C-alpha cells in the first residue's frame, strides 16, 4: 500500500556519505540515516528518484533543488534528502557532480527498503535498471508525518515533483 498524506512516515535505514567541506574530494565511510530518528521534530523534503546520473534526474530534477535549497530552508525546511535505488557511494559521487555540497543529503536505498515500505517502488527491469527502484516523488514530512506527497505519473518527467512545486506546497 502506498503512503498518503497524514500517514506516519515508515522507519527505514538508509545510508549516506556525509559531505566534508574540509575534504570535498575525500570518500568518507557511510553513515546510517534512520528515518524515524532523523525526521522526528523536523520538516523534511524527501526527493525520490529512479536513478543517480540518469538524464531526467541530473538535468531536470536535482539541479533546481540545489539552486533553491536556501529558499526551501527559509520556508522552514530543516533537512533535504535525495534518495535513489543506488548505493551510497554512487549517491555521493552524483552529489559531487551536481555540486550538492551540504545542501542536500544524498542517500542510497540500494536494497529497495524505502520503496517497499512506502509503496513508492517501480519495476524498471525492462529498462535494464532493476526490479526495485524508487519512482519519482517528493514528500514533505513534518515531524514524522507525511504532510504532502507528489508522485510523477510518468517517472521520466518532472511535472509535479519539481522544486518550484515543492516550494508552493510548503
Rounded-to-integer distance, Cα 24 and Cα 120, Å: 32
- What DSSP line would sit under 59-111, residue for residue? IIIHHHHHHTHHHHHHTT--EEEEEESS-HHHHHHHHHHTT-TTSSEEEE-TT
Query: Residue 170: which of 147, 151, 136 has the closest Cα?
Result: 147
Q: What pLDDT, on the 0 to 100 scale, is given for residue 51?
A: 79
Rounded-to-integer distance, Cα 162 and Cα 47, Å: 9
The percent of residues above 90 in pLDDT, for the chain, comes to 64
**Residue 20: left (phi > 0), alpha (psi -120 to 50), or beta?**
beta
Decide which of 50 and 43 is more confident: 43
Q: With a threshold of 0.85, does the pTM exceed it?
A: yes
Q: What pLDDT, on the 0 to 100 scale, is given for residue 22?
A: 78
Catalytic (active site) residue 57: yes
Active-site residue, from 12, 17, 52, 57:
57
**DSSP secondary structure code for residue 162 in this structure:** S
The percent of residues above 70 in pLDDT, for the chain, comes to 91
Tens of pLDDT along 27-38? 778 899 999 999
Tens of pLDDT along 74-109? 999 999 999 998 889 899 998 998 999 989 999 999
Amino acid at each position: 500500500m502506498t503512503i498518503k498524506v497524514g500517514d506516519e512516515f515508515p522507519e527505514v535505514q538508509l545510508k549516506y556519505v556525509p559531505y566534508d567541506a574540509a575534504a570535498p574530494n575525500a570518500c568518507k565511510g557511510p553513515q546510517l540515516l534512520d528515518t524515524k530518528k532523523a525526521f522526528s521534530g523536523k520538516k523534511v523534503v524527501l526527493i525520490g528518484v529512479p536513478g543517480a546520473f540518469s538524464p531526467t534526474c541530473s538535468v531536470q530534477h536535482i539541479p533546481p533543488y540545489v539552486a533553491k535549497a536556501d529558499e526551501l530552508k527559509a520556508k522552514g525546511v530543516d533537512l533535504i534528502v535525495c534518495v535513489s535505488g543506488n548505493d551510497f557511494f554512487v549517491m555521493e559521487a552524483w552529489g559531487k557532480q551536481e555540486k550538492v555540497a551540504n545542501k542536500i543529503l544524498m542517500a542510497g536505498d540500494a536494497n529497495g527498503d524505502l520503496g517497499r515500505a512506502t509503496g513508492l517502488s517501480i519495476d524498471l527491469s525492462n529498462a535494464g535498471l532493476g526490479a526495485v527502484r524508487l519512482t519519482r516523488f517528493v514528500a514533505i514530512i513534518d515531524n514524522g508525518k507525511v504532510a504532502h506527497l507528489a508522485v510523477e505519473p510518468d517517472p521520466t518527467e518532472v511535472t509535479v515533483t519539481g522544486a518550484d512545486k515543492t516550494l508552493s506546497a510548503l
